[in-house]
A and B are shown apart, each in its own frame.
Chain A
Amino acid sequence: MSVTGERLQPTIFELGRPGRGGGKIPHPPKDALDRLPSEARRAVPPGLPEMNELDVVRHYVNLSQLNYAVDTGFYPLGSCTMKFNPKLNEWAARLPGFADLHPMAPDEVAQGSLQLLWELEQALMEISGMRAVTLQPAAGAQGELTGILMIREYHRARGETDRDEVLVPDSSHGTNPATASMAGYRTITIPSAADGGVDLDAFSAALGPGTAAVMITNPSTLGLFESRIGELLEAVHAAGALAYMDGANLNAVMGRFKPGEAGFDVMHFNVHKTFSTPHGGGGPGAGPVGVGETLIPYLPTPRVLREDDGTFRLERAHERPSSIGRLRSFVGNTGVLVRAYAYILAHGGPGLREVSDDAVLAANYLKHRLSDAYDIPYDRPCKHEFVASAATIKKHTGVRTLDIAKRLIDYGYHPPTIYFPLIVEEGMLIEPTETESVETLDAFADALIAIAAEAAASPDLVTGAPHSAPVRRLDEATAARQPNLRWRPMTGAQTPCPD
Chain B
Amino acid sequence: MPYGPHTADDRERMLAALGLTSVDQLFEDIPVALRASHLDLPDPEPELELAARLSGLAARNRTDLASFLGAGVYRHWSPAAVDQLLLRSEWYTAYTPYQPEISQGTLQSIYEYESLLAELVDLDVVSASHYDGAAATAEAALMTCRVTRRERVLISRGVHPHYRDTVRTYFEGGLQLDEIPLIVDGDGAGTTDLAALERMLAEPGLPVAGVIAAQPDFLGLLEPMPEIGRLAHTAGALFVAVVEPVSLAVLAPPGAYGADIAAGEGQPLGIAPQYGGPYLGILASTDALVRQIPGRLVGMTSDRDGKRAFVMTMRAREQDIRRDKAASNICTNQALLALAASIYLSVIGPHGLRDVAALGASRAAQLEAALAAVGAPRLHSGPYLNEFVVRVPNARAVHRRLLDAGILAGLVLADAEPDDPSLSDGLLVCATEVTTSAEIARFAAALGALIGTSVAEVVR
Contacts and interface: CB of A to CB of B under 8 A. Distances in A.
A424 interface: no
Nearest to A252: B27
B244 interface: no
A299 B274 CA distance: 23
B331 A140 contact: yes
Interface in A29-54: 29, 32-33, 35-37, 39-43, 45-51, 53
Interface stretch (B200-208, B275-283, B448-456): B275-283
A200 interface: no
A244 interface: no
A349 B301 contact: no
A300 B172 CA distance: 13
Nearest to B41: A349
B260 interface: no
Contacts of A36: 222, 250-251, 361, 383, 385
Contact of B433 (A25, A59, A227, A338): A25
B355 interface: yes
Given A415-B99, A483-B313, A64 B349 contact: no
Contacts of A116: 57
Nearest to B119: A46
Interface stretch (B48-56, B372-380, B438-446): B48-56
Interface string B305-328: 101110101110011111111101
Interface in B74-106: 75, 77, 79, 81, 83-85, 87-106
B60 A115 contact: yes
A496 B168 CA distance: 47
Interface string A207-224: 000000000000000001
Nearest to A182: B329
B381 to A, nearest CB: 12
B303 A70 contact: no
A495 B248 contact: no
A366 to B, nearest CB: 9
A300 B350 CA distance: 40
A65 interface: yes
B105 A67 contact: yes
B343 A60 contact: yes
A475 B304 CA distance: 7
Given A22-B349, A53-B81, A95-B54, A472 B337 contact: no
Interface residues on A, range: 35 or more
A279 B29 contact: no
Contacts of B354: 45
Contact of A11 (B4, B83, B108, B319): B108
A351 B274 contact: no
Contact of B416 (A127, A317, A353): A317
Contacts of A474: 100-101, 301-304, 309, 311
B65 interface: yes
A100 B104 CA distance: 32
A130 interface: no
A434 interface: yes
Given A47-B119, A227-B31, A332 B277 contact: yes
Nearest to A181: B324
Interface string B332-343: 111111010011
B54 A342 contact: yes
A139 B335 CA distance: 12
B355 to A, nearest CB: 4
A330 B276 contact: yes
Q: Which of B142, B322, B333 has the most CB of A within 10 A?
A: B333
B304 A473 contact: yes
A471 interface: yes
A347 interface: yes
- Looking at B4, B308, B318, which has the most chain A CB atoms within 10 Å of its CB? B4
A110 B400 CA distance: 14
Contacts of A368: 17-18
Contacts of A297: none
Nearest to A348: B44
Interface residues of B, number: 202
Contact of A230 (B3, B34, B301, B365): B34
Among B166, B299, B337, B403, find the residue whose CB has the most chain A CB atoms closer than 10 A.
B299
Contact of A479 (B6, B69, B301): B301
B177 to A, nearest CB: 11
B101 A284 contact: no
Interface string B227-248: 0000000000000000000001
Interface string A51-93: 1010011011101111111111001010010111110101111
Given A48-B353, A256-B35, A282 B135 contact: no
Given A40-B383, A41-B252, A346-B44, A56 B433 contact: no
B6 A358 contact: yes
A159 interface: no
Nearest to B101: A469
Interface stretch (A170-178, A389-397, A453-461): A170-178
B60 A112 contact: yes
B278 A336 contact: yes
Contact of B112 (A11, A175, A365, A405): A11
Interface in A302-337: 316-318, 324-336
Contact of B326 (A174, A350, A434): A174
A336 B277 contact: yes
Interface in A404-454: 405-406, 409, 414-415, 417, 420, 434-438
B118 interface: yes
Contacts of A126: 39-41
Interface in B398-416: 399-400, 403, 408, 411, 415-416
Nearest to B33: A230
B249 to A, nearest CB: 7
A99 interface: yes
Contacts of B11: 358, 361
A483 B336 contact: no
A71 B250 contact: no
**Residue among A26, A329, A344 with max Cβ neighbours from chain B (10 Å):** A329
A334 B276 contact: yes
Contacts of B27: 225, 253, 256, 360
B41 A365 contact: no
6 contacts: A65-B90, A138-B334, A284-B277, A330-B275, A336-B278, A358-B1
Given A102-B69, A486-B114, 4 more contacts: A70-B89, A229-B31, A358-B4, A358-B11
Leading 10 A-B pairs by shortest Cβ distance = A184-B173, A97-B58, A112-B60, A282-B335, A280-B336, A284-B278, A330-B276, A138-B131, A349-B39, A349-B41
